[in-house]
């Protein structure tokens, strides 16, 4: 009981019960997720692209924000585990007609939902749902407000481990709109938990949060300084509203100062890998020659994301069986 009170993501045995945030996950749970994902990497290349681990289980994808890529990879992951998958049409749902979020959850739970995959514009919405649910139903956070995107961080960690091995020897740079990015927030917590040697964030002062130095993160406002000697560069998507507001003068100036090009990439290590959570703004945060070049591992990230989400779903389902 003490474990549950300390961390709502873990069950009484300390196993994964919900996935809400990287920030509160012990390193051993992260390593267990990555190791479980190893076993699912080859499923997509088999003649029969599924395993029966979630047969008879119902996974509801509740995307209150649009995200074709994340929703699709969750759907593929659940189907490869043989789950019954339901994609709620939010635009036509009762929520859009005035029903509360928790009333919607209650109704779907009454339809025998086992796992909710939730994306919501409000930070903390998955926590609210998790606190409300019966013990045998579970939540996976697919992105909430600016707060967290834990499965993206886990697939980023998986990709880095795949190409670079031990985290403790790596210099990692996160470049772009760190202030508004739930991906950056989750990546920072995940990379610190895994013990990277040096973690840097890079961007204009208007797009960098305060207080990161206190976590041990280096802050840089010049791209060349931030990526010098980097083993890994994670580029962030720049959202259009930042360019329309007062935070940036123009897309062209942003690309000139912070866009990753073959020229600026020469400041990183020769075997540096380049990552991006997608979708990319080519010519704004990244040059096509880099996005499609030999350093890019952006497409493998997408493939690894399915295996990582299979790992998360199978682990919470295992906890579910113990709670039933």
Q: Tell me: pLDDT of 84 over 70.
A: yes
Provide the β-strand partners of residue 247: none
Q: Tell me: pLDDT of 260 over 70.
A: yes
**Per-residue pLDDT, 24:** 86
Q: Tell me: pLDDT of 153 over 70.
A: yes
What angle in degrees, to the nearest 10, is found between the helix axes of 101-110 and 125-132?
50
Q: What is the pTM of this model?
A: 0.94
b/e per residue, 278-311, with b = 16+ CB within 10 A?
A: bebbeebbbbeebbeeebbbbebbeebbbbbbbb
Q: What is the mean pLDDT of the chain?
A: 91
Distance of CA 26 to the CA centre of its chain: 16
pLDDT: which is higher, 245 or 3:
245
Distance of CA 152 to the CA centre of its chain: 2
Q: Which CA distances in Å does 270 have to 157, 174, 274?
A: 20, 18, 11
Q: Do residues 249 and 124 lie in contact, with contact meaning Cβ atoms separated by under 8 Å? A: no
How far apart (Å, rounded) are the C-alpha atoms in residues 160 and 279? 19
Q: Tell me: pLDDT of 85 over 90.
A: yes
Instruction: Summarize pLDDT for 21-31 with one digit per residue, the tens.
Output: 999 899 999 99
Q: How confident is the model at residue 243 (pLDDT cuts 50, 70, 90)?
A: low
What mean pLDDT comes out for the span 7-13?
Answer: 90
Instruction: Summarize pLDDT for 160-201 with one digit per residue, the tens.
Output: 999 999 999 999 999 999 999 999 999 999 999 999 999 999
What mean pLDDT comes out for the span 290-318?
Answer: 97
Name which of 69, 81, 89 is nearest 142 in CA terms: 69
Name which of 279, 185, 23, 254 is nearest 199 in CA terms: 185
Q: Tell me: pLDDT of 137 over 70.
A: yes
Q: What is the 3-state secondary structure (H, E, C) of 272-324?
A: CEEECCCCCCECCCECHHHHCCCCECHHHHHHHHHHHHHHHHHHHHHHHHHHC
73: how many CB neighbours lie within 10 A of its CB? 24
**Per-residue pLDDT, 188:** 98
DSSP 79-139: HHTT-EEEE--GGGSGGGGT--HHHHHHHHHHTT--EEEEEESSTTHHHHHHHHS-TT-EE
Q: Which CA distances in Å does 241 have to 87, 145, 184, 197, 258?
A: 28, 15, 18, 34, 17
Q: Tell me: pLDDT of 3 over 50.
A: no
What count of Cα atoms within 13 Å lies in the side-chain half-sphere of residue 31?
9
Provide the β-strand partners of residue 141: 118
CA angle at 156 for the pair 290 and 187, rounded to the nearest 5°: 105
How far apart (Å, rounded) are the C-alpha atoms in residues 268 and 258? 14
């Amino acid at each position: 009981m003490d474990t549950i009170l300390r961390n709502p993501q873990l069950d009484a045995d300390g196993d994964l019960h919900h996935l809400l945030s990287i920030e509160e996950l012990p390193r051993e749970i992260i390593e267990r997720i990555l190791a479980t994902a190893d076993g699912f990497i080859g499923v997509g290349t088999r003649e029969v692209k599924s395993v029966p681990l979630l047969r008879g289980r119902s996974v509801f994808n509740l995307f209150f924000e649009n995200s074709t890529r994340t929703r699709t990879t969750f759907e593929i992951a659940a189907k490869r585990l043989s789950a019954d998958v339901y994609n709620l049409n939010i635009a036509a749902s009762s929520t859009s007609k005035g029903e509360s979020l928790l009333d919607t959850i209650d109704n779907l739970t009454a339809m025998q939902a086992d796992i909710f995959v939730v994306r919501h514009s409000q930070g903390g919405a998955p926590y609210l749902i998790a606190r409300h649910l019966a013990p045998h139903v579970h939540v996976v956070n697919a992105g909430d407000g600016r707060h967290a995107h834990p499965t993206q961080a886990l697939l980023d960690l998986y990709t880095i481990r795949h190409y670079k091995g031990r985290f403790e020897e790596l210099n990692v740079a996160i470049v772009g709109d760190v202030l508004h990015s739930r991906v950056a927030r989750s990546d920072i917590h995940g990379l610190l938990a895994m013990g990277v040697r040096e973690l840097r964030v890079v961007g204009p002062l208007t797009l960098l949060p305060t207080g990161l130095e206190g976590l041990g993160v280096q802050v840089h406002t010049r791209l060349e300084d931030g990526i010098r000697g980097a083993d890994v560069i994670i580029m962030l998507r720049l959202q259009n509203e930042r360019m329309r507001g007062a935070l940036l003068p123009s897309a062209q100036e942003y690309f000139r100062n912070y866009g990753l090009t073959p020229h600026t990439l020469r400041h990183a290590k020769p075997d540096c890998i380049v990552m991006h959570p997608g979708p990319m703004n080519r010519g704004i945060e990244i040059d096509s020659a880099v996005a499609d070049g030999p350093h890019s591992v952006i497409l493998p990230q997408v493939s690894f994301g399915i295996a990582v989400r299979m790992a998360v779903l199978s682990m919470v389902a295992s906890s579910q069986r113990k709670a039933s």
